[in-house]
Amino acid sequence: MKSVRAVLDYLVSGDVSYIFGIPAGSVNAFFDELYDTPSITPIVTKHEGAASYMAAAYAKYSGSLSVCIGSSGPGGTNLVTGAANAMREHLPVLFLTGAVPTETVGLNASQELHADPIYQSVTKYSARVDRAEDLLPEIHKAVEIALSGVPGPVHIAMPIDVQLSSVPFQSLPTFPARTRLIPDDAVVQEAVTALERSESGYIFAGQGIRGAVDDVIELAETLNWPIITSPQAKGLIPSDHPLLKGIFGFAGHESASSFIHEGDAETVLILGSSLGETATNNYNPHINEDRYTIQADFDACVFNRKYPVDLALHGEMDLTVSALNTGLKNRGRERNKIQTPAHQEIELDTEYNTRNVLMSLQNMLPKTTRYTIDIGEFMAYVIHHMEVPTYDAFDINVHFGAMGSGIGSAIGAKLADPDRPTVSITGDGCFFMHGMEVLTAKEYGIPVLFVVMNNARLGMVHHGHALQYKRVHQTFAQEPVSITAMAETLGIPSARIDSMDDLNSDTVSTLLNTKGPAVLEVALVDDNIPPMGDRVKFLSSFGK
């Protein structure tokens, strides 16, 4: 059989359902085998970069390996940003790229690129396979690496002649299953003792608590400790939980900032946060200054990287926090009964601004809606103002901050979790990068509502530049473009909002309940400074 046939059979054995990417000469052998692989659907996108964001989101919400493919040369380089994005989020994505025939390497062949070293800094493993008999073993090795330890992306470059070459029958290696990291019981008991003895403390939670939220809330209620989250953890802790102090970091809340700076907590328990720049307000030392620090994570690299840690818990988050709960329970600590207050509607005024639009929109959408948030000034309003009524309500990757990622992420998330209403909140700048993926959603009948905040400028750049340099270059503004007119030419249902009066439940419901994607354009220039928290102070004082 062809070596590439063995690869497809292997992916089938691992229950891979989708492959995201774009066909081309150097990977057409792979796509040709998909004719005989009905269990795998190729999602052919409009740009490889968008395919990589789809694959990453699919891996996140399906809890399984995702596969993304591109041609040699530009297809491969277009996927690199998505690989870096997946690396920052610890997502297991197998990136496959074509490569020129082995006999033409170094001869300036069409679309020749030595891709594997390019991927080495943005993946856990990257290699080119030059012998057909090695293709399946190398891909199996890469998948094992992607799923083991700290999950992450991997890359294999496949020369076209290697794909097409026949190989003797190869029995398929067993598709790897992730071996979960179990925390050391002695260290867990030491942490339980420290928590039990602490008279006061708080929990600092990052996106690593996904899948362990119930355990984290139980721990907080047992200790009666406040919870502060990073921006990336937006969507995980319900907004109305009485112990939630808010978000610290980019676009965070004053309540969280005041607690960290002025609170008397003697202990901080850091759960699932790498304590990067956006989570810590530019590495603010007050997070654990003069406080006993316990940090739990499945990535040992985060311990003592910037913030000194007194006790490190290395293991899966749900196993670790569950063990802490069990340890406290065995020592007689009981969970406190926390009364959740009655929900109070947030009063909105009639001003046509970003906050009012987003909050009104959320009131009109189902409470179970998942929002994939792109990169732009609207992101600050989402983090700061929008509520978390149900679990895992927001997908925000301010870590890597790739514009346009929220568009592809919505499609990947919807494929992984088809019963959940999915809304992409993006901007015109992001839309001009990857907006044609609404056509991909149409072609595959994927019902996502794309909300495009159209202010005819690079809004985050505009405000950041104004704060830092007290002036804004005129080229940051763009020629106004009608997004709804673009959608109409693509045959996609759409509506345009020019005032608060235009935003109503009937319009939103109609767009949300189409058989495929829909576009809601919000034409709005908001000159209010976004609620970026201490980032405003940082930019305002930078260079002084």
Tell me: the pLDDT tens digits for 146-199? Answer: 999 999 999 999 999 999 999 988 789 999 999 999 999 999 999 999 999 999
pLDDT value at 372 more than 90:
yes
What is the pLDDT confidence band of residue 1, given thresholds at 50, 70 and 90? confident
Ordered by start, the domain boundaries in the chain are 3-164, 185-330, 354-541
DSSP, res 543: T
CA distance 191 to 187: 6
pLDDT value at 2 more than 50:
yes
* Higher-scoring residue by pLDDT: 467, 119: 119
CA distance 75 to 63: 26
DSSP, res 540: H
Task: For strands 370-373 and 422-427, give the pairing.
Answer: parallel
pLDDT value at 104 more than 80:
no
Specify the pLDDT at position 540. 46
Specify the pLDDT at position 307. 97
Least confident of 52-56, 314-318, 416-420, 431-435: 431-435
The structure's pTM equals 0.94
**CA torsion angle for 93, 94, 98, 102 (degrees, to 10)?**
140
pLDDT value at 541 more than 50:
no
CA distance 85 to 309: 27
Specify the pLDDT at position 473. 65
Helix (H) or strand (E) holding 239: none
Specify the pLDDT at position 192. 98
Tell me: the pLDDT tens digits for 196-233? Answer: 999 999 999 999 999 999 999 999 999 999 999 999 99
Percent of the chain with pLDDT over 70: 93
pLDDT value at 470 more than 80:
no
Helices (H), ranges, 349-458: 354-364, 377-385, 405-416, 428-434, 437-443
Specify the pLDDT at position 479. 81
Specify the pLDDT at position 478. 76
Nearest by Cα to 294 from 316, 317, 277, 271: 271
Residue 69 dihedral angles phi and psi, to the nearest 5°: -135, 145
- Report, as an integer, the average pLDDT of 47-76: 97
pLDDT value at 536 more than 60:
no
What is the pLDDT confidence band of residue 113, given thresholds at 50, 70 and 90? confident
CA distance 376 to 421: 22
**CA torsion angle for 484, 487, 493, 499 (degrees, to 10)?**
-10
- Report, as an integer, the average pLDDT of 63-83: 96
What is the pLDDT confidence band of residue 460, given thresholds at 50, 70 and 90? low
What's the CATH code, domain 3-164? 3.40.50.970
Tell me: the pLDDT tens digits for 279-294? Answer: 999 899 999 999 999 9
CA distance 129 to 167: 14
pLDDT value at 538 more than 90:
no
pLDDT value at 295 more than 90:
yes
Tokens 């919505």 appear where?
A: 410
CATH architecture of 354-541: 3-Layer(aba) Sandwich (3.40)
- Report, as an integer, the average pLDDT of 316-330: 98
Residue-by-residue DSSP string for 124-148: SEEEE--SHHHHHHHHHHHHHHHHS
CATH of range 185-330; options 2.130.10.10, 3.10.20.30, 3.40.50.1220, 3.40.50.450:
3.40.50.1220
CA distance 149 to 127: 19
What is the pLDDT confidence band of residue 352, given thresholds at 50, 70 and 90? very high
What is the pLDDT confidence band of residue 542, given thresholds at 50, 70 and 90? very low
Would you say the CATH fold of 185-330 matches that of 3-164? yes
Q: Tokens for 271?
A: 């759960």
What is the pLDDT confidence band of residue 456, given thresholds at 50, 70 and 90? low
